[in-house]
Chains A and B, each alone.
Chain A
């Protein structure tokens, strides 16, 4: 399991993509900021470790 903390400090009511916040990776003990939902997704993708393929 991966644990992250996302704190959102500002939202733009006119533009839902505009959010400012902090993204913390608990295991890595890193902290990054983001200013849009897109950049938040990018941070999450960057932190995501290589997925092992799961076969049935």
Chain B
């Protein structure tokens, strides 16, 4: 059923637009399958690191940025003439810093980041539908305020590739990430005396069965997400991004309800204005997001995990989903993207704003983890073994 739906959407996109729209939708579906089967999320990985000193998730994310950087830097450094691709460059300023900080809080309260929210919605988790709804509202409100935040101090865009050349920039970035990797390993080893590997495969499952039905080891997720991100860059001409679409959907809904979003500076010029006057299916981020959700539906059905029953929703969980969703959306708009479009795409493009996103987002997560404890979503923090 899901496969038929995806096939129908693919053919429809090819008919209405071009093969590129179809390919981007299928890449999105591949991302959804990868995210769900590898259970690859930023939120849980950061929380495990902070609460339990378990570093597998964080190390997988670091490897993802290393792998994606190794794929992106030569392309963005024009090593291959004729391949036109744009880096995800954004200003290193207050807007990104505040936005990523708010996003970091929001991802812990909302229970998911940009990619995590989409694939858990595809998995059929009811509480994540609430987070997604308020993610969209937050992104829409953020788009109304963005011009004010962009007027605050900023160093402008800083590209490591343009400044130092792609190879020295790649070496410098990988060195910094290797230090972070070693530090996170050390934290885990100090507490447990050993470090969990990223290649844990439980049971004697055949490769094809594991590929289809999951679960995947984290390093499969790293390879899958890196390769699919490269395909996005080559087919779409830009790195993988998620949250522009949320603001677009919200702005379209607000317009239908009688709101005048064209009066907001963000929607009055350039691509956002154009996107408002076109079909939502013309927007790359939207069709990739739809692909991620359907890909996750497919993977969840194959794994027998669709629409898990879960515990009944408590008011604290709903409050967290509402406030988390609003912070996620507002923060992502200010920070020029979520953990995917701002952090991974920014760092893999050699943009310094990606590093600022990492620091501010992780700081926000430190606060968000404490809010979770306050709302009794997690047990109190315990330090040391």
Q: Do the two shown chains form a genuine complex with each other?
A: no
A interface residues with partner B (beta carbon < 8 Å): none
Interface residues of chain B, those whose CB is within 8 Å of chain A, are none
